[in-house]
């Protein structure tokens, strides 16, 4: 078995070292004998949605984000929408999460149109929501670090998790991130998957199932090192 991971605009969208999420996916797949090919997608490249199994969509500075958004709108927005709607696995972090939505309103009141692939929207705040965060994702305590000025509102869509400690989407409604089919959106950095290997395995399983049909459960890995690190963070956060 093999998986193709597409890293969207790695030279523009790697503000918080989120390439670590790809390294975790690759490592955990390889430990189970699954071959992984990482494809770096940049401005002007062809997005092969039919032969892509996992997409990584990170965040960046405002200028870089504007370049990315225009390239997507000009050339591949239809392919991205089809990929998501047909159950393609996608992890969107921070700016990538915001961009998938309908729009972003700056603190000055300027409305910037997003990709509109998903139905959420974001409003810029005067202060940043910063700090360690713990989130309940279907009974699993996911941990990470958030740093965002945007307040995201997802309406009746499904949050990725429920905030245990921290701010989450907007610091108001108790939700963190967004889950739509096999698209995972979150504000958790860290990188997200290095701190939460269970979610990494969920993504690998979903990608394999989409590509190969029903598969047996993934072979368990020795996660004592990761579990020990998680226990330290949970103790530090008192969760």
| 161 beta partners | 176
Lookup: tokens for 219 = 């072979």
User: Which one of 7, 120, 148, 189 is the catalytic residue?
Assistant: 189
User: Which one of 94, 120, 148, 185 is the catalytic residue?
Assistant: 94
- Give the Cα separation of 174 and 189 in Å (integer): 18
Question: Which of helix, strand or coil describes residue 170?
Answer: coil
Q: Nearest-CA neighbor of 112 among 98, 126, 92?
A: 98
Active-site residue, 120 included:
no
Classify residue 118 by its DSSP letter: S
Residue position matching structure tokens 């490592």: 27
Q: Residue 13: what are its φ and ψ, rounded to 5°?
A: -120, 70
Lookup: tokens for 217 = 């459960």
Active-site residue, 189 included:
yes
| 130 beta partners | 147
Q: Nearest-CA neighbor of 186 among 3, 16, 11, 67?
A: 16
Question: Which of helix, strand or coil describes residue 69?
Answer: helix
Strands of the chain (E only): list them: 2-8, 35-41, 54-57, 89-93, 103-105, 111-113, 121-137, 140-153, 161-165, 175-176, 178-180, 183-186
Active site positions, annotated: 94, 189
């Amino acid at each position: 078995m093999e998986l193709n991971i597409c890293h969207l605009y790695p030279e523009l969208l790697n503000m918080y070292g989120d390439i670590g999420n790809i390294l975790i996916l690759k490592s955990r797949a390889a430990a189970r004998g699954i071959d992984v090919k990482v494809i770096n997608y940049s401005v002007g490249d062809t997005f092969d949605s039919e032969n892509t199994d996992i997409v990584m969509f990170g965040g960046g500075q405002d200028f870089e984000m504007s370049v990315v958004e225009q390239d997507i709108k000009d050339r591949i927005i239809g392919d991205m929408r089809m990929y998501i709607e047909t159950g393609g696995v996608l992890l969107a972090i921070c700016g990538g999460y915001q961009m998938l939505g309908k729009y972003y309103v700056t603190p000055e009141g300027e409305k910037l149109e997003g990709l509109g692939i998903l139905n959420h929207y974001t409003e810029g705040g005067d202060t940043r929501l910063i700090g360690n965060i713990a989130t309940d994702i279907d009974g699993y305590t996911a941990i990470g670090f958030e740093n965002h000025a945007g307040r995201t509102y997802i309406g009746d869509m499904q949050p990725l998790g429920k905030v245990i400690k921290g701010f989450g989407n907007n610091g108001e409604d108790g939700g963190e991130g967004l889950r739509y089919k096999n698209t995972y959106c979150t504000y958790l950095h860290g990188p997200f998957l290095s701190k939460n290997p269970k979610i990494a395995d969920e993504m690998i399983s979903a990608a394999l199932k989409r590509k190969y049909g029903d598969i047996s459960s993934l072979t368990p890995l020795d996660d004592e090192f990761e579990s020990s690190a998680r226990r330290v963070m949970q103790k530090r956060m008192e969760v």
